[in-house]
Structure 1
Amino acid sequence: MKSYRVQTLIECIVRNYNNRKVVIWGKCDSSDMISKALYEQHGIVTEYFIDSNTNLLNGTTVRSVMEIDRKSNDIYVVIPLRYHKSIIERLTAFGYKEVNDYAYSSHKPISITKDKMDDYSYSDIFGNKIVGDISNCKVIFRGYNSTITIGNSTNIQENVEIYIDDDVNVSIGNNLTIFKNTKWNFLPDSLVTLGDNCIFEQDGELTCGRNAEITIGSNILFGCRYWIVASIQSRIKIGNDCLFSRDVMIRTNDGHSIFDINTKKNINSALKEQYKKSVIISDHVWVGAKCTCLYNTKIHSGSIVGAHSLVKREFPNNCIIAGSPAKIIRRDIAWSKENNRDNMDIVNEKYIHYTLEVN
């Protein structure tokens, strides 16, 4: 939990607990941090923790949530967790009133549509901002101090949702097009940059994890049902003038942990190694239908990835790669977005090069 979130919560507790016993909802790193800060700054001792996870309960320091039922006269509850409507409903049923009887570190998600903005601008008391035309998009702020900036001539269809957590910075260029049924999710401290003339077709998902970064250049097309995931502390970088066909997956993690039985160590997703995980796709790369690009992928400019390929290493410029795992099947090629052309004059000269070897 960020220091400013801790201090804001501490101040709310001190103002409202009125010498009642302090109970913290959720046994996790954030709750331990709040408990320690309360004692060190104000001498307030945490009576106990409560949790809905029965595996954590020990009957003394961690108890069932039922322990606080109908005890608002004696107990002040602190919730240092992501906002959950079910927690609010449970507290209300137990007879607790917001602020007077409990402090929640997260605010209720704020859903912003174009009609709630003032001349292409929005800001709130939590430090969140929108600058630009969000068209038919719905932006949902779930945290604090985040900014999304969008350029001119936006075309966003219905049922497009962008979820934004704490300290997120999103910068989008001009002429953005997003088709219907799209969900983008930006976790705390993520950084997302999109260039001009980007098109994202329908039914796609894009997620930028905590402390992760996604950079996408200009003149980009993603076909329908794309799935882009930059996991915690990792990076995805896509150059200019690229084409991605339908059902393309780009991700910087495996989704689950794998361990070496002998050493008992994580061999695929240790947190300290995450910053090394990246997918880099250079300018003018064409990725075919149903391809998967995993971490360690690096594709140099002017290349083509054949349909249904699995990519997880570096490949040179101006070549065709295909297969699972992908391998080079042809070198010294150039390609154009236009179909049925008889000569190479249509190809921009800056993308015509002989294939060079990579280390």
Structure 2
Amino acid sequence: MREHMLAGKPYKAKDAELDRMHAKALKVMHTFNNSGPEERNKRMSLLNELFGALGANSEVNPPFYCDYGVHIYAGEKFFANYDCVILDCNEVRIGDRVLLGPKVQIYTATHPLHPAERREEWELAHPVTIEDDVWIGGGAIICPGVHIGAGTTIGAGSIVTRDIPANVLAAGNPCRVIRKLNTD
């Protein structure tokens, strides 16, 4: 099922391999989310155990939640503020110097539109890519399959349902480009 999940094909999450991966992530997140502020080295070690890759000088403030963790690849100087959620049923690729405000949610998981397929517990997942130097304001939601270009700012509370180009300010529900940003 994991191969189907990562390929964007229908899969069932109630699978022995996926259950083991999720249980491991839950255990690591529990330890991370209950660690003290003075335990920075412990937190970094736990994040490196949880994520597929985590660049140098990165920081994640607890609480933090994800499905598996191993499908999250974050670059250098990545920062996630309090209460972020990344549902990584497919790959989440995050570039260098990406900033997530509090309560940002990144979803790769989705469900079939037809109720009969949902009753049979089929699910889908589409990768999310966030390029370098992106700032995502607090409470924003990034939907499955979205690609956000380098240097872009996503306004707080936005719901990003489609790709957003590089070097723009985008905001709203649905999120749309407000203006181009000066890159000088």
| Counterpart pick for 1:197 among 33, 36, 57 | 57
Asked if 1:303 is matched to 2:152, the reply is yes
Instruction: Return closer, same or farther for 1:296/1:332 CA change in 2, 3 Å cut-off.
Output: same
Q: Which residue is equivalent to 2:96?
A: 240
Instruction: Return closer, same or farther for 1:177/1:321 CA change in 2, 3 Å cut-off.
Output: farther
Instruction: Return closer, same or farther for 1:157/1:295 CA change in 2, 3 Å cut-off.
Output: closer
Q: Which residue is equivalent to 1:312?
A: 161
Q: Which residue is equivalent to 2:77?
A: 219
The 5-angstrom pairing of residues 1-150 of structure 1 reads: none
Q: Which residue is equivalent to 2:34?
A: 159
Report SS of the residue matched to 1:224. coil
Output the TM-score relative to the length of structure 2. 0.69
The number of aligned residues is 158
Q: C-alpha deviations, 1:16-60, integer Å up to 9, x for none?
A: xxxxxxxxxxxx987xxxxxxxxxxxxxxxxxxxxxxxxxxxxxx
Q: C-alpha deviations, 1:47-92, integer Å up to 9, x for none?
A: xxxxxxxxxxxxxxxxxxxxxxxxxxxxxxxxxxx79xxxxxxxxx
Output the TM-score relative to the length of structure 1. 0.38
* Percent of paired sites with the same residue: 25
Q: Tell me which of the two structures has the higher relative contact order, counting C-alpha pairs closer than 8 angstroms and 6 or more residues apart.
A: 2
Please say if residues 183 and 204 of structure 1, whose CA atoms lie closer than 8 Å, have aligned partners that are also in contact.
no
Shift of 1:184: 10
Instruction: Return closer, same or farther for 1:203/1:139 CA change in 2, 3 Å cut-off.
Output: closer
Shift of 1:178: 3.9
Structure 2, unaligned stretches of length 5 or more? 2-13
Please say if residues 47 and 54 of structure 2, whose CA atoms lie closer than 8 Å, have aligned partners that are also in contact.
no
Instruction: Return closer, same or farther for 1:235/1:333 CA change in 2, 3 Å cut-off.
Output: same
Q: Distance in 2 between matches of 1:304 and 1:201?
A: 20
Higher strand fraction: Structure 1 or Structure 2?
1
Please say if residues 33 and 62 of structure 2, whose CA atoms lie closer than 8 Å, have aligned partners that are also in contact.
no
Q: Distance in 2 between matches of 1:242 and 1:325?
A: 21
Higher helix fraction: Structure 1 or Structure 2?
2
For 1:258, the aligned partner's letter is L
Q: Distance in 2 between matches of 1:215 and 1:280?
A: 10
| Counterpart pick for 1:286 among 135, 144, 157 | 135
For 1:159, the aligned partner's letter is N
Q: Distance in 2 between matches of 1:253 and 1:292?
A: 12
Q: Distance in 1 between matches of 2:130 and 2:145?
A: 11
Q: Distance in 2 between matches of 1:202 and 1:242?
A: 17
Q: C-alpha deviations, 1:323-357, integer Å up to 9, x for none?
A: 011000011334xxxxxxxxxxxxxxxxx4xxxxx
For 2:56, the aligned partner's letter is D
Shift of 1:206: 2.5
Q: Distance in 2 between matches of 1:223 and 1:252?
A: 20
Report SS of the residue matched to 1:324. coil
Report SS of the residue matched to 1:315. coil
| Counterpart pick for 1:259 among 108, 114, 119 | 114
Instruction: Return closer, same or farther for 1:325/1:243 CA change in 2, 3 Å cut-off.
Output: same
Structure 1, unaligned stretches of length 5 or more? 2-27, 31-81, 84-108, 111-137, 141-155, 161-174, 335-351, 353-359
Q: Distance in 1 between matches of 2:107 and 2:57?
A: 23
The 5-angstrom pairing of residues 151-190 of structure 1 reads: 159-160=34-35, 178=43
